[in-house]
Amino acid sequence: MTVPPGKDPAPAPPGMLPAPEIAAILSGTHSNPFAVLGVHAAGKTYVARCFVPGAETVIAETLSGKELGTLERRDEAGFFEGPVALRKEQPIRYRARNDGGEWTVIDPYSFGPVLGPMDDYYIREGSHLRLFDKMGAHPIRHDGAEGFHFAVWAPNARRVSVVGSFNDWDGRRHVMRLRVDTGIWEIFIPGVPVGTPYKYEIVDSNGTLLPLKADPFARRSELRPDTASMTADEIAQNWEDEAHRRHWAEIDPRRQPISIYEVHAASWQRRDNGDMLTWDELAERLIPYCVDMGFTHIEFLPISEYPYDPSWGYQTTGLYAPTARFGEPEGFARFVNGCHKVGIGVILDWVPAHFPTDEHGLRWFDGTALYEHADPRQGFHPDWNTAIYNFGRQEVVAFLVNNALYWAEKFHVDGLRVDAVASMLYLDYSRKHGEWVPNEYGGNENLEAVRFLQTMNTRIYGIHQGVLTIAEESTSWPKVSHPVHAGGLGFGFKWNMGFMHDTLQYLSREPVHRKFHHNDMTFGLLYAFSENFVLPLSHDEVVHGKGSLIAKMAGDDWQKFANLRAYYGFMWGYPGKKLLFMGQEFAQWREWSEDRGLDWNLLEYNLHEGMRRLVRDLNGTYRSKPALHARDCEGDGFEWLIADDRENSVFAWLRKAPGEKLVAVVTNFTPVYREHYDIPLPVAGRWKEVLNTDAEIYGGSGKGNGGAVHAEKRANGETIATITLPPLATLMLEQD
Q: Is 419 a catalytic residue?
A: yes
Cis? peptide before 108, omega within 30° of 0: no
Q: Which helix (H) or strand (E) holds 733?
A: strand 729-735
Q: Which helix (H) or strand (E) holds 494?
A: strand 493-495
Distance CA 442, CA 573 (A): 44
Task: Note the helical H segments in 92-222.
Answer: 117-125
Distance CA 667, CA 675 (A): 14
Of 259, 255, 253, which Cα lies nearest the Cα of 581?
259
Distance CA 576, CA 493 (A): 10
Distance CA 388, CA 357 (A): 10
Distance CA 554, CA 615 (A): 20
Q: Return the beta strands (E) in 547-592 as ranges.
A: 577-581
Strand 197-203: give its sheet, edge to edge: 159-164, 197-203, 229-230
> In three state form, how does the secondary structure of 380-416 look?
EECCCCEEEECCCCHHHHHHHHHHHHHHHHHCCCCEE
Strand 638-645: give its sheet, edge to edge: 638-645, 650-655, 663-668, 729-735, 685-692, 708-713, 719-725, 674-680
Distance CA 355, CA 380 (A): 10
Catalytic one of 328, 472, 617, 734: 472
Give the CA dihedral 178, 184, 187, 188, nearest 10 degrees: -140
Catalytic one of 419, 531, 617, 734: 419
Distance CA 453, CA 22 (A): 49
- Count CB-CB contacts under 10 A for residue 183: 18
Of 353, 278, 290, which Cα lies nearest the Cα of 322?
278
Q: Which residues pair with 187 in a beta bridge?
A: 150
Of 168, 198, 182, 191, which Cα lies nearest the Cα of 108?
191
Give the CA dihedral 268, 272, 277, 283, nearest 10 degrees: -80
Annotated active-site positions, please? Answer: 419, 472
